[in-house]
A and B are shown apart, each in its own frame.
Chain A
């Protein structure tokens, strides 16, 4: 079955550590996204990528980094520079065809990161 897989589901980080969240998709989608969701709030865009070896900062990129070396994979690293990293992290993908309407975003199950 096609889909997006995020791992791990739960992650605990000590202050000062970098951690990497995995996101893999087998939907053959060009576009991939990382969002952060805080309790009772909407999704905020961290980074997005439309094509392999290219990615763009979203609205809250500070303290995060990404790579897109393969079409299927878009890992997110939460660095020690991110001062408040405890949140629910969601990875998504979509077809990226300019001019194509109603191409929805598909989500992974999310990673819940907690700083201890």
Chain B
């Protein structure tokens, strides 16, 4: 079983829409969680960390549900520039500080 699983999409949404992605992780001992954004043929860049209490950064909201072992990302008022692949990342502090990446969810925002 993969450490981190995501729906690959693509999610095709119109500008202004609200879209949500989920990601599940397999190891209940996982401690740190992140969402990264990756543009085509570029390196991943941190979008936001995911805190236990949930956190918001502008149009982006991240939630963690430890009981069900999933992480979510909500994007409100989608912009064309939000089109990218969103990677769910889990840091295994219990396992030599390794980072486990989901395969990514592709988002296409259309005019």
Chain A residues at the B interface, C-beta cutoff of 8 Å? 31, 33, 35, 40-43, 45, 48, 50, 56, 58, 88, 90, 92, 94, 96, 98-110, 112
Are A108 and B93 closer than 8 Å at their CB atoms? no
Are A94 and B97 closer than 8 Å at their CB atoms? yes
**Once A and B bind, how many residue pairs between them come within 8 Å at the CB atom?**
62
Q: Which residue of A50, A101, A104 contacts B96 across the interface (Cβ within 8 Å)? A: A50
Tell me how far the C-beta of B22 lies from the nearest C-beta in chain A, rounded to whole angstroms: 16
Are B98 and A48 closer than 8 Å at their CB atoms? yes
Are A42 and B104 closer than 8 Å at their CB atoms? yes
Using Cβ atoms and an 8 Å threshold, which residues of chain A touch B104? Answer: 42
Are B43 and A105 closer than 8 Å at their CB atoms? no
Are A90 and B93 closer than 8 Å at their CB atoms? no
Are B101 and A98 closer than 8 Å at their CB atoms? no
Q: Kindly state the separation between the CA atoms of A108 and B41 in the bound complex, as whole angstroms.
A: 12
Question: Is B72 located at the chain interface by the 8 A CB criterion?
Answer: no
Using Cβ atoms and an 8 Å threshold, which residues of chain B touch A101? Answer: 31-32, 93
Are B44 and A50 closer than 8 Å at their CB atoms? no
